Amino acid sequence: MILGGMGVAGWAWLLVVIPLAVAAALLLLGRLADRWGHWLGVAGVAAPFALAVAILSQLIGNQPSGQGSAFVVKWFTWLQIGSVPIEAALRVDHLSILFALLVTGVGSLIFIYAVAYMADDPGRRRFFGQLNLFAASMLLLVLADNYALLFVGWEGVGLASYLLIGFWQAKPSAGVAAKKAFLMNRIGDLGLLSAMALMMTNAGSLAFPAVDSYLMDYPPVWKIAVGLLLLLAACGKSAQFPLQGWLTDAMEGPTPVSALIHAATMVTAGVYLMVRSHGFITVSLISLLTVAIVGAITILIGAWIGAAKRDIKQVLAGSTMSQIGYMILSACLGPMGAVLAIFHLLTHGAFKANLFLGAGAVMHATGDQTNMEKFGGLRRLMPWTALAFACSTLAIIGFPPTAGFYSKEHIIALAFSWSPVLGVVTVLGALVTAFYMTRLVQLTFFGQSRLPKKVKPHEAPALMIWPMIVLAIASLGLGVWLNRVIFGWLISSLGYGVVVDPEQGSWIHFDTISIVALSALAVGVLAGWLVYRRGPRAETNLLQQAGRAELGADIAGGWLVRGSLVIADGVAWVDRVLVDGGINLLVRAGLGLSALLRRMQTGKVRSYGLVMALGVCAFLVLALIMSAVI
């Protein structure tokens, strides 16, 4: 339903229009905006953040209940498919506005940080234009009221990520990474398009309420197909198995881009799709098990990669795969799991953004060095960066009572309540997370410096430090606030009814699970400290080598691409030989028949008379035969 009295929510269209207009201005004005364009770029997300806070306040005041309760802001009828209109409309509910707050809130801090980080880059104005395009696309994606408009934002995010990953075009590796991300995401996009086609065929609409209300009437096979196709789309955008291979290469872009991709935009889009389409994921046991398996595998693969990489940003990229895996896994574990997925996504947005900004500050201070084995001892030279980084490290490993503790431990408890196997996977992921983050911190900030003597590390400028301090505070305290409110108004807004205790039906009590998870954390931290307390190690064992090779992701990606080419060639053959060939055969048959008939049109009366006489004779013979038979 549409809540009456729009109020400030009626201005939700500005959440998309403002950054889009700023992007257009910065990209079209050219050099005229070089001196002040970056501050206009910051305003492009800061103003929507203030509006999103006001809208959230209004939503909390209205206390909507039941799925579909929302402010729907209609612009115009965008498409007309037969008798079905496709509206350009925004859906403002608790789910969409929480994502909008994540994009604009974390985005504003990243943008401010980028003002200093990109200060000496001649393309800074263009960079901020593309960042605003990125934010506008993501906001359109999460605020869309139907899958068609969501797809526009989905593709806009893919385009902006391509531009930003390859921003430093002079680096061949950046161009290759941008193309890899773009092409692998097209595979996921095909899944979303196919799911939309099935929705339109069955429900006759692409609007979220209409599609959801028709859910139980879908043929069983089609329900499974839609759920798996949506999962494929999420795997592409959120770098989940088997489409995870592009994410570490995407670190070729400027560090603010990495922070935005991992914390607030691109990889979070898949989680949003899973939660928004939650009914398709849980309506079938096949879909549910497939999503759970993909999430569980990615938790372990991402952690493995994070424990093996030497590049500080690639370690954090592997970490993102793993943490998004927790969210994907959680999203299929019933209504409570969907809520916990959003819970973890919000806390992850704070600490992962800060970790990337901290990595950028280290690179900024060491001449863009990324190999952790060449750092060491930076806590003395960069105390504020080290402090902020430590706060977010405690959050990502789930140290109580940081933000990550609340969100991750709830997911671990819920996983155990569904399956001991899933519970063990989540605990093992937490153990390896503690290990590789301890390794990262130990090699970067502790021990003796291993930097070349000509490199003189220094603390980051204040414009980079303050966003990190704010995110560090959020990493420590955000979980307490969300833990108090997330199970109330978010659950009611999603229409999931009565809150279900994640402990209910569990073979192991939540307190016991907390002890198990904290024990895994302690083992991971202790192992990381013992192994790396004296500095880097050779790391030549098979596990490390496999992790650095990303477990053959490039090989698998190559197979996937080649398989796609084979399928494309097959489709092209069908089109060329069967479709075009069949049409061409009909054309040739028509031409042949017309040529034959043309020869009969002589214009001579005696020829026509002969044909008529022969026809009469034929009918007489036929009549005689029929009479003899009868």
User: What is the pLDDT of the chain when averaged over all its residues?
Assistant: 87
Give the torsion sign (CA, 203, 189, 408, 69).
Answer: negative
What per-residue confidence (pLDDT) applies to 495? 52
d(CA 348, CA 354): 10
How far lies 279's CA from each of 261, 335, 625, 627, in Å?
27, 9, 70, 70
Rounded Cα gap, residues 575 and 74, in angstroms: 40
pLDDT in tens, 293-334: 999 999 999 999 999 999 999 999 999 999 999 999 999 998
- In Å, what is the CA distance from 315 to each residue of 117, 238, 441, 548? 21, 16, 11, 10
* Residue 548, number of CB atoms within 10 A of its CB: 17
Q: How far apart are CA 415 and CA 277, in angstroms?
A: 20
CA distances from 316 to 60, 118, 302 (A): 34, 21, 9
Among 385-394, 553-562, 619-628, the range with the most confident prediction by mean pLDDT is 385-394
In sequence order, which ranges of 245-333 are alpha helices (DSSP H)? 255-263, 266-276, 278-282, 285-308, 312-331
The single residue listed with the structure tokens 């079209």 is 28
Model-wide pTM > 0.75: yes
CA–CA gap between residue 333 and residue 341 (Å, rounded): 10
Q: Which of 361-370, 478-487, 493-502 has the highest mean pLDDT?
A: 361-370
Residue 142 CB neighbour total at 10 angstroms: 26
Nearest one of 379, 384, 324 to 354, comparing CA atoms: 384
What are the b/e assignments for 348-378, b being 16+ CB within 10 Å?
bbbbbbbbbbbbbbbbbbbeebbebebbbbb
pLDDT tens digits along 394-433: 999 999 889 999 889 889 999 999 999 999 999 999 999 9
Strand partners, 71: 92
Residue 1 CB neighbour total at 10 angstroms:
10
Helix (H/G/I), strand (E/B), else coil: 450: coil
User: CA 410: distance to chain centroid?
Assistant: 22
Q: Could you tell me which of 159, 22, 23, 153 has the C-alpha nearest to residue 99?
A: 153
Average pLDDT over residues 80-109: 90
Please report the pLDDT score of residue 553 as a whole number.
Answer: 66
Write out pLDDT tens, residues 253-262: 999 999 999 9
pLDDT digit string (tens) for 112-165? 999 999 999 999 999 999 999 999 999 999 999 999 999 999 999 999 999 999
Torsion on CA atoms 543, 548, 550, 555, rounded to nearest 10: -100
CA angle in degrees (0–180, nearest 5) for 548-553-559: 150
